[in-house]
Amino acid sequence: MAKKTTVYDIAKELNITVSTVSRALNNISTISESTRKAVLETAARLNYRPNKIASSLTSGKTYTIGVLIPSAQIQFFASFIHSLETSLKSFGYSILLYQTNESLTSEKNGITTLLEAQVDGIVASMSLETKDPSHFEKVKEEGKPLIIFDRAHDNLQCSMVKIDDLHAGYIATKHLLDEGYQKIAYITTKHQIKIFKERYEGYLLALQEAGLIANPGYTIFGELNVQGGYVGAHELLKLRERPDAIIGGDDYVALGIIKALHDKHITPPEIGVIGFANQNFSEHIIPSLSTIDQQALKMGKECAKMFLKIIEQPVTARTDQTSVVIEPLLLARESTSRRK
């Protein structure tokens, strides 16, 4: 078996001290650029790989961050992970991903698994089943940074990155009103997750400002997926007074709505349809889907920036109350475009 290259081999090759090699590899500012370059080039030539276990024993860090998400199949979360990982890579961090598949039990297991893996902190978005977030307290009890993104909870005091969801619901509804729609329905999740409640409140606010009374029959609470949108839209189309526009709780719900409309030979914007998240398929379907962009890439960068700031603070000095709220963006496309 070939002998594994160590920092001692690099030091001997360059005729410098082991401590100098170590500082160069860890990007310590007291090392000159020429020395750092020589060490990195020699390390690459000798196929040196750092001993992460030994390094973690010395620094108290594994340089691994646990990421807990509902599903990597949802483009929003995939984009978020890409942005987070890219932002952290240059600082020597890698991520350990755990998918909950919208399950509370899986979410609890995920937290335990990530903590047992000795991650330096956890960045998480809650499952649809999560009503009581107390299991997240274990992360804080171990003195590790906890950042919740997208799906926050009032009963969990921790750092957070999210969009202004009330405004998201408001601008989606206001866009439909500006396009001349008056009978606007809403299909959302039956789960009482804060972001979806706030979007719905934004919908009600926009209707109120327009002098319209929300029709209770125009609100459908179901599953947050294509089937939920499909079933909900068919219920709305059975009404004596059909809605002239429908808001989907996310783009997948909106896709189900469009499928149901096609069953009745209705093509948006004859009945307007708008969703949330700006999934990859949204601009490519026919007609293209109007949506609210949740800015996944910016959210990932903000989470990375927040984590790096928190991790440098002593545990006793952390407030765990940092909050970043990002403005949602309206992307108006063919599915709501009545006015030319």
Among the listed residues 281, 285, 291, the one whose alpha carbon sits nearest the alpha carbon of residue 262: 285
Q: Which has the minimum average pLDDT: 40-54, 97-111, 194-208, 276-290?
A: 40-54
Question: Quick check: 207 and 173 in contact, CB under 8 A?
Answer: yes
**What pLDDT, on a 0 to 100 scale, did the predictor assign at position 61?**
76
Collapsing DSSP to helix, strand or coil, 147 comes out as: strand
Average pLDDT, rounded, for the chain: 91
More confident residue, 22 or 185: 185
Instruction: Please write the tens of the pLDDT for every residue from 271-302.
Output: 999 999 999 999 999 999 999 999 999 999 99
pTM of the model: 0.82
* pLDDT above 90: residue 165: yes
* pLDDT above 80: residue 32: yes
Tokens of 322: 């940092």
Instruction: Please write the tens of the pLDDT for every residue from 75-122.
Output: 999 999 999 999 998 888 999 999 999 999 999 999 999 999 999 999
**What pLDDT, on a 0 to 100 scale, did the predictor assign at position 99?**
97
State how far the Cα of 190 lies from the Cα of 173, in Å rounded to an integer. 20
DSSP for 270-335, written as a single string: SSEEEEES--GGGGTSSSPPEEEE--HHHHHHHHHHHHHHHHTS-GGG-----EEEEPPEEE--GG
Question: Quick check: 95 and 68 in contact, CB under 8 A?
Answer: no
Q: Which has the minimum average pLDDT: 129-138, 275-284, 309-318?
A: 309-318
Q: Which helix (H) or strand (E) holds 124?
A: strand 121-124
* pLDDT above 70: residue 125: yes
Question: Quick check: 255 and 230 in contact, CB under 8 A?
Answer: no
